[in-house]
Amino acid sequence: MPHPCAAIALLGLVSIGCAPVQTARPSRLGINLAGPADWNTELPFTDVFRLSREWISQRRGAGWGQGPKLDRDANGWVRRLEPDCFAETPMCTIEAGRYPAGEYVCLYDGKGRIEFSNVKREVSRAPGRIVFEPEPTRGGFFLRLTETDPADPVRNIRVLLPGYEAKYRQEPFTPWFLKRWKGFATLRFMDWMLTNGSQAREWSDRPALAYCNTTEKGVPAETMVDLCNRLKANPWFCIPHLATDDYVRRFAELVKKTLDPSLTVYVELSNEVWNGGFKQHHDYGREGVRLGLGDAAKPWEASHRYFARRSAEVWRIWQDVFGGTERLVRVLGAQAANPWWAEQDLAYQDTYKQCDALAIAPYISFSVGPSGRPSAAEVSAWSADQVMDHMEKITLPECEKWMKDCRAVADKYKVRLICYEAGQHAVGVGGGENNEALTRTFIAANRSERMGRLYSRYLEAWRDTGGGDLCCIFSSVGSWSKWGSWGLLEYYDDDTPKYRAVLEWLRNGG
């Protein structure tokens, strides 16, 4: 999916006129984890069914996905199938065969029949247990539910990576995933929580551990807490923008009860509510207008004001549950390229008095469209070195100015300045993403040694200009395409100069 956070023109900021309250210190690094999807190339779970897609209803002889609406229980399992119908879901839809080969074990409860398509072979079959061997070079495979007993339907399906049948309960996370992010200070769960456009309101809407997958509702809070406890990393939660007070309170209570008490919790309301490309911005605009916080002719202003008000309400609930703010960092998200709005949000109804940190995403932004300067056609003829020249000479200095201006706002209101997202932002936009030559050039630049050196310079700029507080890189692992090269790595077994640069920064005190 495209990353919508393209840079927007920087607005002027009046002089702050007060001494900064932050001092430079070694950067502390965090990471944004890639979202759950059947095409997820990070492979964080030993049970790959956790990343399976929503069930697809099929009718034999009809077109793709033309089956009737499925009868599913509260946890998403199919309770019954109509005659000549089946349900299926794809898994490990990863190009180039970049997922582990070997014998997978499928376990399930109930009575029915499961089949696998696009696999090398079925090794053995018994009630509740199937062993099969996929063929990664063919891409992903399908699990197909062809029969299920309505009195005892097939449920609790697990598809386990080779070697994990006996230990998947004790080891729900893959060893490469745990090793890769060990030592990072914070894990931001924005994508794991499917934050953007979330429809979750009531606590009953949350992703429960028993739900059939993580791709429809997100990763359960229990799983996120478990990961943080294992890695001794602080969680950064993005609370759904429609969540009721009861939802917020129960979430906070679960975290307080189960999270390692030595860890700190970053609490942010939604993600990029300032961004008109997201549903949460428009929902808050309508609510803000309804509450009289802004004029209907300027819904964006009402959106900002309601966001500030609701953020304070959410923080107060967490503070009440935790009995204070000692273990909390109350985060207000803002646009790096527009510090004027950051100041408005902090000042509105004295939001800054309840806020601990202003969070920005100061990307090294190079968003290229068909009619921009330079245009997609022009940049598509560049070499990777020319792309890096532009990013080093033009976009990095622009990014440093954003850091400086936003730090001035944070200093004025005596809050920390942190990064909710960070890194390169070389991507085609507005149709530029459809230029295949441009995509190839940007991917080549992301693979280059110079990109690694750019990340080192970037982190130094954050330390020296931005104040050096927490910096959460976007993102962990994800395939590179016309929608961007966001992952530090493309695949779970990958290696890149920009990933090595981030690790080196971490080893040297970051």
- What are the tens digits of pLDDT across the range 350-373? 999 999 999 999 999 999 999 989
The confidence band for 137, taking pLDDT boundaries of 50, 70 and 90, is very high
Q: Is the pLDDT of residue 117 over 80?
A: yes
The confidence band for 510, taking pLDDT boundaries of 50, 70 and 90, is low
Averaged pLDDT of the chain: 94
Q: Is the pLDDT of residue 16 over 60?
A: no
Kindly state the tokens that stand for 14: 């009046």
Q: Is 7 helix (H, G, I), strand (E, B) or coil?
A: coil
CB 145 within 8 A of CB 114: yes
Measure CA 366 to chain center: 21
In whole angstroms, give the CA distance from residue 455 to residue 35.
23
- State the pairing for strand pair 234-239/85-91: unpaired
In whole angstroms, give the CA distance from residue 486 to residue 120.
32
In whole angstroms, give the CA distance from residue 100 to residue 154.
26
The confidence band for 394, taking pLDDT boundaries of 50, 70 and 90, is very high
Q: Is the pLDDT of residue 246 over 80?
A: yes
Q: Is the pLDDT of residue 445 over 80?
A: yes
Q: Is the pLDDT of residue 6 over 50?
A: no
Angle, CA of 139, 101 and 491, to the nearest 5°: 65
- pLDDT tens digit sequence for 208-219: 999 999 999 999
The confidence band for 5, taking pLDDT boundaries of 50, 70 and 90, is very low
- pLDDT tens digit sequence for 40-80: 999 999 999 999 999 999 999 999 999 999 999 999 999 99
In whole angstroms, give the CA distance from residue 376 to residue 393.
19
Q: Is the pLDDT of residue 476 over 80?
A: yes
One-letter amino acid at 160 equals L
| pTM for this prediction | 0.94
- Domain borders along the chain are 48-160
Angle, CA of 39, 41 and 46, to the nearest 5°: 100
Kindly state the tokens that stand for 289: 């207008």
- pLDDT tens digit sequence for 173-224: 999 999 999 999 999 999 999 999 999 999 999 999 999 999 999 999 999 9
Kindly state the tokens that stand for 155: 């449920």
In whole angstroms, give the CA distance from residue 138 to residue 463.
45
Q: What is the 3-state secondary structure (H, E, C) of 366-410?
A: EEECCCCCCCHHHHHCCCHHHHHHHHHHHHHHHHHHHHHHHHHHH
The confidence band for 97, taking pLDDT boundaries of 50, 70 and 90, is confident
CB 194 within 8 A of CB 35: yes
| CATH classification number, 48-160, choose in 1.20.1250, 3.40.225, 2.60.40, 2.50.20 | 2.60.40
* Strand order, beta sheet including 129-134: 119-126, 129-134, 104-109, 155-160
CB 114 within 8 A of CB 154: yes
The pLDDT, as a whole number, for residue 2 is 47
Rounded average pLDDT over 412-425: 98
Q: Is the pLDDT of residue 286 over 70?
A: yes
Q: Which of 1, 7, 87 is nearest to 366 (CA)?
A: 7
In whole angstroms, give the CA distance from residue 15 to residue 37.
45
Q: Is the pLDDT of residue 456 over 70?
A: yes
In whole angstroms, give the CA distance from residue 448 to residue 451.
5
One-letter amino acid at 45 equals F
Lowest mean pLDDT among 9-23, 25-39, 134-148: 9-23
The residue behind tokens 């390692």 is: 260
CB 441 within 8 A of CB 383: yes
CB 196 within 8 A of CB 279: yes
The pLDDT, as a whole number, for residue 7 is 36
In whole angstroms, give the CA distance from residue 179 to residue 159.
22
Sign of CA dihedral 347, 423, 91, 173: negative
In whole angstroms, give the CA distance from residue 119 to residue 76.
25
The pLDDT, as a whole number, for residue 27 is 56
The pLDDT, as a whole number, for residue 20 is 39
The residue behind tokens 């309250």 is: 21
* Terminal-residue alpha carbon distance, the chain: 30
In whole angstroms, give the CA distance from residue 371 to residue 19.
42
The pLDDT, as a whole number, for residue 13 is 28
Q: Is the pLDDT of residue 421 over 50?
A: yes
Lowest mean pLDDT among 16-25, 279-288, 296-305, 372-381: 16-25
The beta-carbon contacts of 453-456 under 8 Å, at least 24 apart in sequence, are: 453/497, 453/501, 454/364, 454/388, 454/391, 454/392, 454/396, 454/424, 454/498, 455/423, 455/424, 455/497, 455/498, 455/501, 455/502, 455/505, 456/501, 456/504, 456/505
Q: Is the pLDDT of residue 474 over 80?
A: yes
Peptide bond into 374 cis (omega under 30): yes
